[in-house]
């Protein structure tokens, strides 16, 4: 059991038998009356966001979530096959557990898998990945408007907006949280 004074961003709580992660929290002390904690929670299975208020000092059940680094091997239907680096055990996890950036996940990439009671509840893709452009339109000579972009398809099948000077075969760095181009990799 955890108290509201133990709250921190990313902490996982069990409410009504469901798992919720704390996205934001704020301690509020009114002039008269007791203090309370206002939170924004994210349901880990559905991704639905809710707001909930707790009385200051209220006890809630916290979930013991273990973060394991695993290697993404391949996709088999809707399952992602992952290998534990320590035990070399392979597990299948639904692709719906990927929180963001799944379209940029490349085979052989390391991911963080969140487990609760030995069951995967979330998969976190690395924040930045380096991928090769496999398909894009050629940039037109003289089309140098500031900030102009074009659509490019990377080796994983994901699409990203890139500057006009990039061509097929170029390697680029992508932020998986936003799906934005960061820089060209040499």
Asked if 133 and 176 sit in the same domain, the reply is yes
The pLDDT of residue 186 is: 82
Assess whether 45 and 72 both reside in one domain: no
Number of domains in the chain: 3
Residue 101's domain comprises 66-124
Is residue 11 domain-shared with residue 58, that is, in the same domain? yes
Q: Is residue 96 located within the same domain as residue 110?
A: yes
CATH number of the domain at 47, please.
2.30.30.30
At 102, which CATH number?
2.40.50.140
Say if residue 56 is in the same domain as residue 77.
Answer: no
Q: Give yes or no: residues 22 and 57 share one domain.
A: yes
Same domain membership, residue 178 and residue 137: yes
pTM of the predicted structure, to 2 decimals: 0.73
Sheet of 110-116: strand order equals 90-94, 79-84, 66-76, 110-116, 119-124
Shared-domain flag, residues 49 and 83: no
CB atoms within 10 A of CB 39: 21
Q: What is the pLDDT along the chain (186 residues), one digit of tens a residue?
A: 888 888 988 888 999 888 898 889 999 888 888 899 999 998 887 778 999 999 988 999 988 888 899 999 999 988 999 999 889 999 999 888 887 788 999 999 999 998 888 888 888 899 999 999 999 988 766 656 667 888 999 999 999 999 988 899 999 999 998 999 999 998
DSSP 26: E
Domain boundary among 62, 84, 109: 62
Same domain, 51 and 80: no
7 lies in the same domain as 52:
yes
Number of Cα atoms under 13 Å in the Cβ half of residue 163? 13
SS3 content of the chain, % helix, strand, coil (to 5): 5, 55, 40
162 and 119 within one domain:
no
Both 14 and 28 in a single domain?
yes
């Amino acid at each position: 059991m955890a108290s509201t004074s133990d709250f921190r961003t990313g902490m996982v709580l069990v409410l009504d038998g469901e798992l919720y992660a704390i996205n934001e929290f704020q301690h509020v002390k009114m002039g008269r009356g007791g203090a309370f904690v206002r939170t924004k929670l994210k349901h880990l299975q559905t991704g639905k966001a809710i707001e909930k208020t707790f009385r200051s000092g209220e006890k809630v059940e916290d979930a013991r979530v273990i973060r394991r680094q695993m290697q993404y091997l391949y996709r088999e239907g809707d399952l992602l096959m992952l290998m534990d680096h320590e035990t070399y055990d392979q597990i299948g996890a639904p692709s719906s557990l990927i929180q963001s950036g799944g379209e940029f996940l490349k085979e052989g990439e390391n991911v963080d898998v969140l487990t609760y009671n030995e069951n995967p509840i979330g998969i976190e893709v690395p924040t930045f990945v380096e991928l090769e452009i496999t398909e894009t339109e050629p940039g037109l000579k003289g089309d140098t408007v500031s900030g102009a972009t074009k659509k490019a398809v990377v080796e994983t099948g994901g699409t990203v907006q890139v500057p006009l000077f990039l061509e097929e075969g170029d390697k680029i760095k992508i932020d998986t949280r936003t799906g934005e181009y960061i820089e060209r990799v040499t």
